[in-house]
């Protein structure tokens, strides 16, 4: 199993010039990728490496930049590949994964409204869990002050 | 004794009989209350829970009284864009249809000084046809309720109601017809006496009994066929927009229909008020026989409710048109043949 | 003749009662039940959402097809009602003839039913 | 919230837009399902969530690690132990510790008990939705002893907050083993009986066979989770794919069913109850002695900076948590990947083309939990 995880990372390294990566445990591998390559990487992973299941898309706020975090897994093996893509807070745009993984749609909507990461190509980037009047508030960002008044 | 004789004579007058007969309304209202209570208790037993047990002692006997008080003192809300007369008319028509059914149902005979008197508000020679006709009015009542509310759930319920009832009116009519063929009459009294001569029609035409029973359940809208009020799909179906006593009428109409329906089953197939032949020496008044049989039929209805999931609306219409209708035709031919042999 | 009228006099009394009783009850209920002034209570219920559009729309023709088929068959059943009470009538010839006639009638009915079935009029459209 | 959707919809004269929700008897929690109906057929379905959004991810960022545990309960009270477990195992791997041997056993048993009671309630709710009220109440009756068992150990009936970092909160009480074995025996008999009813009753079969079919390929593509996925013939179970606690050593099957219809999804749940009973019976005989938690102060937990994605098999499917630690007493970011979220997402495409009357059966056979979606 360990080798499979490492193998995956090596292939990513060769094909997409990924530099920052590590093997955390036999079943968890981690890589930081360039945001413009996410769609190509996802296509490669799902078509050729059997990473056919997107577990989740999270986002995190690291001060000056936002990060989209993808947990890509598979139905047949237990390796969780965590991909992190940094996008600047001033223009947080990244390609949507919906062409590859259908279920990315809702995760992206959630990350969009809670953190403000905009996913280019998502068919319906409408607010999912927040009311429409709270759009633009981005509650999960660290500098969020509370709505309508902080308690 | 002369007074009793006089009373019977007076009851020969249709006007007096009609007014006195309003007691029947009270009686079936009371029996509806009993049925609701029974249903809750018996269903509770089936589902291993106590059922009503707070109002009126351990058995919750006064639960219905409490419910009635609640309904009486609730605000009556009519939605603003409802068709008000139609909306108000729905439950009233349903209730009236139940009353009109109850008029023609005979409940037994009383022997007095050698002569027998029939316990019925009125006798007519076409009572089977009459009851079926006024029962069909309730279809319109439910449609009025659904259409008048201007609510989407209600409307869906109303359309389902039409689609379903239409499929079952024909088999129901044919089943009644098969009974009439055998009894040579459309009069309930004749039908019962014919069963006393021959045998209960449930034995003479079991297929007819099944067809009638299923069609009746569907007509009443009880559980495998309660699509018009399917809670998880249509909230409360046609009665979504009803509150207060308006809803109470609809509710009561449903149970009155169920009771009169049970009476019909007993009269048409279970020998009416005649006793079991092998219990001949045991004296039980005919009225008690009748009530006992109705009780059994109602219990079976409740039992079915506890045991079956709801059928889907397309399956309901399929069952009506593609299963019950051919069977009811077969049964009609069978009944006619048997009737010819017997006579 | 008077016999028929006699049997329907109680029906008339019940009919009047059936219309008067609920109306009278509703008048009583109106007197004793509370009123609230909130306006939104009068809007139609749609699971807590604001209703969109009118409920009375052009509805699926499917339901009407059922109704048409029903009308045909129910009328035919109605024709059988008078027959059942008289078909064992006066003599053997009469009985035989009436039975043959009715068997033909039911057969025609059944052919009509098969036609409706084949045409898919009784099929619930998806 | 629904304003802008409606303006986008152009209805044909024979079509009607029906709101199911946010207050509808079908729903386990509030959500808004907009159906475009033509007659009785659903032409289009849109789903909106967020009526009970609790902001749990944000709350977790502002609590110490120990304080987080009760918050995770509140995501879905039917699976509170799995929610605890996924959070605690994530923090454990951040801290680099392992639960004690005894704690592993206790946690496994508790997780399986949670699965049983969640499935029982899930099947029950589903049964009411197809108009089978009796089955609902039977299921509630069967669930009651399981809840009592959980209460006996954790002291709470629903929100247990039982798992701790490196162990559990309390040891097993005396007499737990006997009571569990006795209870499970009874439950097994009853569940087998209900299974028989649900596989032989002709009305039930008519309602459920071939309804709401989710093919194997579609299920993998839509990414539904748990029993809904296994009902479509995909043997995807975190307990096998990515084992945790004792599961690598236990003997159990992944229950699947081939057809992917409503019937199969429920059948999978019923069989999983029996499988869970079998798992508990294996564990309960072998519980070792020793401490039930690691001996350190839970109030002063301060994992090393890092991040982890931990996942467990919730009763409803893959429950994952992505935890980022920045080396302080509070987590920097917690992202919850709930199974109900994935399942709910797949609902609109599944409803398209179904009968209005089948909505209830399909929606509740997915056994989704609004509370968890709107965490």
Three-state SS string over C30-52 comes to HHHCCCCCCCHHHCCCCCCCCCC
Residues of B in contact with C66 (CB under 8 A): 162-163, 166-167, 317
User: What rounded mean pLDDT belongs to chain D?
Assistant: 85
pLDDT, tens only, B23-61: 877 888 888 888 888 888 888 888 888 888 888 777 878
Q: State mean pLDDT over D224-245.
A: 85
Q: What is the Cα–Cα distance from D158 to D107, expressed in whole angstroms?
A: 16
d(CA A30, CA D109) in angstroms, rounded, equals 32
Mean per-residue pLDDT for A110-139? 80
Task: Yes or no: say if D47 and D16 are a contact pair by the CB < 8 Å rule.
Answer: no
Q: Is D236's CB within 8 Å of A69's CB?
A: no
- Which candidate in C1, C2, C12, C14 is best for mutational testing of the B interface (most B CBs within 10 A)? C14
What pLDDT band is residue B73 in, cutting at 50, 70 and 90? Answer: confident
**What whole-number distance in Å separates Cα of residue B94 and Cα of residue D1?**
40
pLDDT recorded at residue B278: 67
Domain count, chain B: 1
Looking at the domain assignment, is residue B6 inside a domain? no
pLDDT score recorded for residue A1: 41
Predicted pLDDT at D341: 85
- Burial of residue C32 (number of CB atoms within 10 Å: 0-12, 13-18, 19+): exposed
pLDDT of residue C2: 58
- Residue B114: predicted pLDDT: 67
Least confident of A43-52, B173-182, B230-239, D68-77: B230-239
pLDDT category of residue D365 using cuts at 50, 70 and 90: confident
The number of C-beta contacts closer than 8 angstroms across B and C is: 199
Give B161-206 pLDDT, tens digit per residue: 887 888 888 888 888 888 888 888 888 888 888 888 777 888 888 8
- Nearest partner of C17 among B96, D272, A75, judged by Cα: B96
Q: How far apart are CA D85 and CA D80, in angstroms?
A: 8
Task: For residue B153, list chain C residues with Cβ-Cβ distance below 8 A.
Answer: 45-46
Name the minimum distance, in Å, from the CA of A1 to any CA of chain D: 11
Whether residue A41 has pLDDT greater than 60 = yes
Which subunits count as partners of chain B given 3+ CB pairs below 8 Å?
C, D
- Output the domain CATH number for residue A19: 3.30.460.80
Tens of pLDDT, residue by residue over D316-327, are 888 889 998 888
Mean pLDDT of D240-265: 86
- Which residues in chain B are contacts of C33 at CB distance < 8 A? 72-76, 244
| Res. B280 pLDDT band, cuts 50 70 90 | low
pLDDT at B267: 87
pLDDT score, position B42? 87
Give the whole-number percent of chain B exceeding pLDDT 70. 95
Backbone angles phi, psi at B312, to 5 degrees: -80, 155
Domain residue limits at A73: 2-102
Note whether C14 contacts B22, CB cutoff 8 Å: yes
Per-residue pLDDT tens over the stretch D142-198: 899 999 999 989 888 888 888 888 888 888 888 888 899 999 999 999 988 888 888
C23 and B92 within 8 Å at the Cβ level: the answer is yes
pLDDT at D198: 85
- pLDDT at residue A150, rounded to an integer: 47
Q: How far apart are CA D57 and CA B271, in angstroms?
A: 70
Nearby residues of C31 by Cβ (< 8 Å), 6 or more positions away: none
Instruction: Please state which of the ranges B302-306, D164-168, D296-300 shows the lowest mean pLDDT.
Output: D296-300
Residue B326 lies in a domain: yes
pLDDT for position A151: 46
Q: Are D71 and D54 in contact (CB under 8 A)?
A: no
* B71 confidence band (pLDDT: 50, 70, 90): confident
pLDDT value at residue C34 = 79
Q: Please give the pLDDT value at position D2.
A: 42
Give the nearest partner residue to D39 out of C51, C55, C60, using CB atoms.
Answer: C60
Q: What are phi and psi of B53, to 5 degrees?
A: -150, 20
Q: DSSP letters of D55-95? A: -HHHHHHTS-HHHHHHHHHTT-GGGHHHHHHHHHHHHHHHH
Q: Do B233 and D40 touch (CB under 8 A)?
A: no
Measured distance CA(B264)–CA(B290) in Å, rounded: 11
Gyration radius from chain B CA atoms: 21
Is the CB of B233 less than 8 angstroms away from the CB of D138?
A: no
Rounded CA-CA distance D40/D59 in Å is: 43
Within 8 A by CB and 6+ apart from B92, the residues are B141, B249, C18, C19, C22, C23
Position A116 in a domain: no
- Examine the pLDDT at C42 and tell me if it is beyond 80: no
Q: If you write DSSP's letter for every residue of D286-328 in order, what string do you get?
A: ----S-SS-SS-GGG--PPSEEEEEEEEETTEEEEEEEEE-SS
Note whether residue B38 is domain-resident: no
Give the model confidence (pLDDT) of D27-45 as tens digits. Answer: 777 888 888 887 778 888 8
pLDDT at D4: 45
Confidence of residue A147 (pLDDT cuts 50, 70, 90): low
Mean pLDDT calculated for residue range C55-72: 73
**Cis, peptide link before residue D22, omega less than 30° from 0:** yes
In the prediction, which pLDDT does B38 show?
86
C6 pLDDT band (50/70/90 cuts)?
confident
Please say whether the beta carbons of D45 and D33 come within 8 A.
Answer: yes
Instruction: Give the pLDDT confidence score for residue A118 in this predicted structure.
Output: 84
CATH of the domain spanning D57-365, picked from 1.20.140.10, 3.40.50.720, 3.40.50.300, 1.10.645.10: 1.10.645.10
Which of B28, B168, B336, B341 best tests the C interface by mutation, with the highest count of C CBs <10 A? B336
- Distance, CA of D149 to CA of D263 (rounded, Å): 29
Got the DSSP string for C71-101? HHHHHHHHHHHHHHHHTT-SSHHHHHHHHHH
Domain range holding B95?
80-342
Instruction: Reduce the DSSP state of residue D192 to 3 states and report it.
Output: helix
Number of CB atoms found within 10 A of residue D122's CB: 25
Least confident span in A17-26, B101-110, D65-74:
A17-26
**Chain D within 8 Å of B310 (Cβ-Cβ)?**
yes
- Neighbouring chains of C at 3+ CB pairs under 8 Å are B, D
Q: Do D241 and A130 lie within an 8 Å CB cutoff?
A: no
Given an 8 Å threshold on Cβ–Cβ distance, is B230 in contact with D357? Answer: yes
Contact indicator for B89, B144 with CB cutoff of 8 Å: yes
pLDDT 10s digits, B251-272? 888 888 888 889 889 888 888 7
Residues D49, D52, D58, D61, Cα dihedral to 10°? -120
Q: Is D130 on the interface with B (CB under 8 A)?
A: yes
Q: Which residues contact D137 (CB under 8 A, 6 or more apart)?
A: B47, B48, B49, D124
Question: D140: phi > 0 → left, psi -120 to 50 → alpha, else beta; which?
Answer: alpha
**So what's the pLDDT on residue D225?**
83
Min distance D32 CA to chain A CA atoms (Å)? 11
Distance, in Å, from the CA atom of B122 to the CA atom of B11, rounded to the nearest integer, reads: 10
Q: What is the pLDDT of residue C53?
A: 66
Q: How far is CA D66 from the centre of its chain?
A: 23
Q: Is-contact D315 D115, C-beta < 8 A?
A: yes
**Residue to substitute from D2, D6, D50, D54, interface A, most A β-carbons within 10 A:** D50
Q: What is the mean pLDDT of residues A83-90?
A: 85
Helix/strand/coil for B241: coil
Question: pLDDT-derived band of residue B332, with 50, 70 and 90 as boundaries?
Answer: confident
Q: Taking Cα atoms as reference points, which of D100, D90, D63 lies closest to residue D246?
A: D100
The complex scores an ipTM of 0.81
Reported confidence tier of residue B282, pLDDT bands at 50, 70, 90:
low
How confident is the model over D338-344, as a mean pLDDT?
Answer: 85
Read out DSSP for chain A? -HHHHHHHHHHHHHHH---EEEEEETTEEEEEE-GGGHHHHHHHHHHHS---EEEEEEEEEETTEEEEEEEEE-SSS--EEEEEEEEESSS-EEE--TTT-TTHHHHHHHHHHHH--EEET-TT---SSS-GGGTT--TTSTT---SSS--
Q: Which residue has the higher pLDDT, A54 or B10?
A: A54
Which of the pair, C82 or D162, is modelled with greater confidence?
Answer: D162
More confident residue, D38 or D232: D232
């Amino acid at each position: 199993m360990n080798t499979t995880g490492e193998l995956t990372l090596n292939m990513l390294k060769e094909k997409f010039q990924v530099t920052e990566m590590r093997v955390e445990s036999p079943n968890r591998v981690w890589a930081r990728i360039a945001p413009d390559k996410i769609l190509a990487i996802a296509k490669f992973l799902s078509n050729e490496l059997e990473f056919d299941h997107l577990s989740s898309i999270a986002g995190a706020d690291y001060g000056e930049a936002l990060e989209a975090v993808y947990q890509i897994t598979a139905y047949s093996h237990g390796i969780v590949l965590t991909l992190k893509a940094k996008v600047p807070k001033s223009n947080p745009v990244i390609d949507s994964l919906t062409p590859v993984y259908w279920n990315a749609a809702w995760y992206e909507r959630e990350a969009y409204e809670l953190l403000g990461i905009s996913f280019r190509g998502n068919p319906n980037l409408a607010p999912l869990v927040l009311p429409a009047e709270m759009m633009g508030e981005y509650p999960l960002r660290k500098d969020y002050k509370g709505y309508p008044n902080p308690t | 004794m002369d007074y009793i004789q006089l009373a019977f004579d007076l009851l020969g007058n249709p006007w007096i009989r009609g007014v006195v007969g309003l007691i029947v309304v009270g009686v079936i209202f009371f029996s509806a209350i009993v049925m609701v209570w029974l249903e809750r208790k018996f269903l509770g037993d089936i589902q291993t829970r106590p059922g009503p047990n707070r109002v009126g002692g351990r058995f919750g006997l006064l639960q219905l009284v409490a419910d009635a008080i609640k309904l009486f003192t609730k605000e009556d809300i009519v939605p603003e864009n409802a068709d008000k007369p139609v909306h108000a008319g729905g439950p009233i028509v349903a209730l009236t249809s139940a009353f009109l059914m109850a008029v023609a149902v005979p409940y037994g005979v009383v022997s007095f000084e050698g002569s027998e008197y029939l316990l019925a508000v009125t006798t007519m020679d076409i009572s089977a046809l009459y009851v079926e006709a006024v029962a069909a009015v309730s279809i319109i009542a439910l449609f009025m309720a659904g259409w008048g509310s201007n609510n989407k759930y209600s409307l869906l319920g109303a359309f389902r109601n039409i689609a379903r009832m239409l499929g079952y009116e024909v088999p129901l009519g044919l089943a009644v017809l098969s009974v009439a063929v055998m009894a040579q009459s459309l009069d309930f009294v004749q039908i019962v006496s014919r069963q006393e001569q021959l045998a209960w029609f449930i034995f003479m035409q079991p297929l007819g009994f099944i067809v009638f029973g299923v069609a009746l359940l569907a007509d009443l809208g009880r559980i495998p066929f309660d699509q018009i009020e399917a809670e998880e799909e249509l909230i409360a179906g046609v009665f979504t927009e009803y509150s207060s006593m308006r809803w109470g009428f609809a509710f009561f109409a449903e149970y009155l229909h169920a009771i009169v329906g049970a009476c019909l089953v007993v009269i048409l197939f279970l020998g009416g008020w005649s006793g079991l032949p092998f219990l001949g020496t045991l004296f039980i008044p005919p009225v008690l026989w009748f009530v006992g049989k109705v009780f059994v039929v109602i219990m079976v209805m409740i039992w079915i409710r506890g045991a079956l999931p709801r059928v889907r609306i397309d399956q309901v219409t399929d069952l009506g048109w593609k299963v019950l209708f051919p069977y009811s035709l077969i049964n009609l031919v069978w009944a006619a043949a048997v009737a010819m042999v017997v006579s | 003749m008077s016999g028929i009228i006699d049997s329907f006099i109680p029906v008339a009394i019940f009919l009047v009662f059936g219309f008067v009783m609920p109306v009278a009850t509703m008048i009583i209920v109106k007197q004793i039940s509370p009123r609230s002034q909130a306006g939104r209570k009068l809007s139609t219920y749609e699971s807590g959402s604001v209703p969109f559009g009118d409920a009375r729309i052009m509805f699926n023709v499917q339901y009407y097809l059922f109704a048409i088929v029903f009308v045909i068959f129910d009328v035919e059943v109605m024709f059988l009602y008078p027959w059942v009470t008289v078909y064992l009538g006066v003599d053997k010839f009469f009985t035989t003839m009436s039975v043959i006639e009715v068997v033909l009638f039911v057969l025609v009915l059944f052919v009509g039913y098969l036609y409706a079935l084949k045409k898919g009029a009784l099929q619930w459209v998806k | 919230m629904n304003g802008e959707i409606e303006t986008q919809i152009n209805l044909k004269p024979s079509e009607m837009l029906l709101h199911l929700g946010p207050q509808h008897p079908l729903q386990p929690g509030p959500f808004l399902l907009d159906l475009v109906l033509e007659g009785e057929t659903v032409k289009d379905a849109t789903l909106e969530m967020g009526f009970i959004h609790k902001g749990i991810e944000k709350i977790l960022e502002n609590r110490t690690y120990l304080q987080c545990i009760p918050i995770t309960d509140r995501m879905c009270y039917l699976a509170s132990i799995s929610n605890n477990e996924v959070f605690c195992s994530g923090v454990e791997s951040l801290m680099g510790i392992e639960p004690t041997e005894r704690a592993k056993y206790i946690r496994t048993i508790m997780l399986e008990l949670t699965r049983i009671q969640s499935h029982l309630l899930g099947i029950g709710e589903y049964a009411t939705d197809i108009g089978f009220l009796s089955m609902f109440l039977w299921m509630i009756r069967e669930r009651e002893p399981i809840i009592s068992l959980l209460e006996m150990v954790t002291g709470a009936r629903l929100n247990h907050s039982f798992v701790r970092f490196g162990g559990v909160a309390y040891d097993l009480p005396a007499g737990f083993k006997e009571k569990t074995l006795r209870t499970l025996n009874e439950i097994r008999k009853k569940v087998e009986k209900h299974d028989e009813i649900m596989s032989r009753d002709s009305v039930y079969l008519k309602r459920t066979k071939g309804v709401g079919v989710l093919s194997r390929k579609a299920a993998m593509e839509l990414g539904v989770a748990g029993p809904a996925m296994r009902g479509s013939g995909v043997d995807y179970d975190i307990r096998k794919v990515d084992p945790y606690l004792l599961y690598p050593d236990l003997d159990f099957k992944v229950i699947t069913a081939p057809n992917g219809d409503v019937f199969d999804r429920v059948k999978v749940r019923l069989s999983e109850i029996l499988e869970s009973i079998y798992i508990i019976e294996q564990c309960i005989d072998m519980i070792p002695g020793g401490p039930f938690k690691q001996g350190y102060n839970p109030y002063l937990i301060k994992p090393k900076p890092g991040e982890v994605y931990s996942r467990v098999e919730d009763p409803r499917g893959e429950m994952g948590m992505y935890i980022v630690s920045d080396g302080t007493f509070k987590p920097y970011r917690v992202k919850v990947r709930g199974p109900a979220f994935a399942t709910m997402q797949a609902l609109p495409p599944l409803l398209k083309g179904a009968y209005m009357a089948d909505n209830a059966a399909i929606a509740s056979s997915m056994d989704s939990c609004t509370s968890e979606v709107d965490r």
